[in-house]
Amino acid sequence: MTKSIALYPCWFMLNTMNKYIHGSSGLISRHFIEHSSSLGQLLYWHNQHGINIQVREHQQLRWLLINNTLQSVILTRSPQVLLFPHLAYLATVWQQRPAPKKILELGLGGGAIRNYLLKQYPQAQLTSVEKNPHIIDCYQDFFALNEKGQIYCEDAQTVLKSVVNIDWIILDLFSELDAPRFLFDQCFYQTIYEALAQRGILFINFLSQHASQLTQLQLVLKRVFGEAVSIKKITGFVNHIVVVEKTL
C-alpha cells in the first residue's frame, strides 16, 4: 500500500477559479470541459494531417486539446494534481494496490497521469508511449513535472512486443469519442497480457456512449484474462474505468 497524496490543492490556490473548479471536490467543472476550446489564452497551435493541437491557459489552469476535444488539464503550480473526475477515481484505485515497480502508460496526452505517477511513485520505472511527436513536444514544453522517466515516440502495439514484467499498464488512447479499432482486437490484449507481470494489472480509460462497445470490450478481455472485469462508470461522463488483473 502507498501513502495517498491529495487529489486537490489548498483552497487559496483555487480561489480565483471557482467557475472552473468545484470547491468541494477540487475537480474540473463540466462548464470548463464543454467550453475549453474557447476559454483562456492560446499558447500553442499546430495543425497537420487533419490533427489540430492546441495548448491554452487561464490563470493557473493549462490544458491540451486535440481537434477541439479536451485531453488533459493541469494546475501549473501543481501539475501532479488530477483534475478530471475519472482520473481522481483511478487514483483511488491505484492507492488500494501495492506500489508498482514498472509502469507502462500508453497514450501521453498532456501528461496528467504521468505527472501524478512520477510524484506518487518516484521509485517506479515509468515509461510513457505516444506516437505523435508534437504531443510529446507539448508535454515537455508546457506540462512536464520533470524529466525523469522515459517517453517513447512509437506505436503502442510495437512497444508492447518488446516489454515484459510490467506491473501496471495504463491504456488511455482516446483522442476523440470513437475508439480505435484495435482496442477491440483480441490479439492486442493478448500482447498486453504477455507484457504484464504475474498479478500485473491493466487499467483502461474507455470512452463510449454505446453499451454494445463496452460489452464487446468485456468479452474480449474475459477471453484473454479469464477473469472478471471491473468496470466503473463515471457519473455524468462517457468515461468508464476498466480494470482487469493477470492471475493465470
For the chain, which residues make up each domain, given as ranges?
11-75, 85-245
Residue 209: pLDDT band (50, 70, 90) is: confident
How many residues are given for the chain?
248
pLDDT at 3: 47
**Percent of the chain topping pLDDT 70:** 89
DSSP, collapsed to helix, strand or coil, labels residue 28 as strand
Find where cell 524529466 sits: 147
In this prediction, residue 180 carries a pLDDT of 73
Of the candidates 226, 169, 231, 181, the residue with the CA atom closest to the CA atom of residue 206: 231
Name every residue whose Cβ is closer than 8 Å to that of residue 123 and which is 6 or more positions away in sequence. 99, 101
CATH number of 85-245: 3.40.50.150
The mean per-residue pLDDT over the stretch 152-181 comes to 86
- Of 81-85, 131-135, 147-151, 234-238, least confident by mean pLDDT is 147-151
Distance, in Å, from the CA atom of 120 to the CA atom of 5, rounded to the nearest integer, reads: 7
Per-residue pLDDT of 21-33, as tens digits, reads: 887 788 999 999 9
